[in-house]
Amino acid sequence: MTEFKDYDITSNTGFKTPVLFERFFIVNEKTEKSQFVDNISPYEPIIIGDATNYLFVKELFPSAIKYEGDSITILEESHNSSIIRVEAGRNWHNFVMQSLQLGLFNLENLALIPGTVGAAPVQNIGAYGREVSDSIKTVHCVSISTGEHIQLSAKECSFSYRQSIFKHQEFKNLLITHVDFELSKLENPIANYPDVAVYLEQQRNIHPSALDIAHAIISIRTNKLPDPSEIGNAGSFFKNPIIDITIYESLVSKYPSLPKYDIDDIHVKVPAGWLIDQSGFKGIRINGAGVHEKQALVLINADNAHGKDIYELALMIQHKVHALFGIMLEPEVNILL
């Protein structure tokens, strides 16, 4: 275990707004139970991966903890699949590309999502038609309060859209150390997401491999989303709201171009970016905070913004979208007030 005092992670966060921790613990596989109980748990640290999906509204926090360690081990192999154990500190995109090199498939649509393997189950990251929960078998954690090791099956993690058990208050002391993924040895590319389909058509690629899908998505994302190392951002700021179909029908009579994705017989998902764009925020700049000009769902640190500037802009967007459409946008980003 390493403990840093007055640890500034501003430049390592997604939004690049100022943030300092009085204590910052870095732990790994060798960290002992007694160190969790005696040295770490009294400070109730916030768990952090690469902080790409946090908005720090306050600028000073008592403590945080990060797991380091990025090994990959193949645990089991069968004819059609492998179970692979990955340590939580590994860079997510690096792992996705490595899985493809190993001839293991199903994560290709999640290429280039920033952050760590440890955060992936927490957020149930998803993109271009896939969610990570479809490939997770077991999540291994350590309780920060007791130092006990705990394993949770995918079912026990209660995954849903950008949700898992790890987001509930009573599980916030579980630090993920390893994730076991079950990946297919057979390619089963999902290429019907509109942007991906258009890209592959332009490339005249009618039988894309999993690697082709990953490369298509890397190219699409690079063109569409701001790189957090150049423009501070945390990806999609709000979740795409899931609404009752009757509400959609009454809205679409007023806004005929309102898009939808079917969820089930009574629910549809509508793009939060469209709602924000229609509310007049695309490309806006207020006190250094902004809304990206190509993708209205992405809030940015346009010019030395502080966390509170981005937070205030997010509140303005929520209020306006609610006033116009009657829909309350829910943040996807973890906001620390």
Ligand X SMILES: Cc1cc2nc3c(=O)[nH]c(=O)nc-3n(C[C@H](O)[C@H](O)[C@H](O)COP(=O)(O)OP(=O)(O)OC[C@H]3O[C@@H](n4cnc5c(N)ncnc54)[C@H](O)[C@@H]3O)c2cc1C
Instruction: Tell me if residue 221 is catalytic.
Output: no
Binding mask 129-168 for ligand X (x = CB under 6 A): -------------------------------------x--
Contact call for residue 88 and ligand X (CB under 6 A): yes
Catalytic residue among 81, 162, 164, 279: 162
Closer of 40 and 122 to ligand X (Cβ): 122
Min dist. Cβ of residue 328 to ligand X (A): 20
Total residues at the site for ligand X (CB under 6 A)? 32
Contact call for residue 61 and ligand X (CB under 6 A): no
Instruction: Tell me if residue 332 is catalytic.
Output: yes
Which of 21, 23, 24, 53 is close enough to bind ligand X by CB under 6 A? 53
Of the candidates 227, 219, 214, the one whose C-alpha atom is nearest the C-alpha of residue 292 is 227
Min dist. Cβ of residue 38 to ligand X (A): 21
Contact call for residue 14 and ligand X (CB under 6 A): yes
Instruction: Tell me if residue 236 is catalytic.
Output: yes
What is the set of active-site residues? 162, 236, 332
* Residue ranges in contact with ligand X by CB under 6 A: 14, 47-54, 67, 88, 113-116, 118-120, 122-123, 125-127, 166, 175-176, 225, 228, 233-235, 334
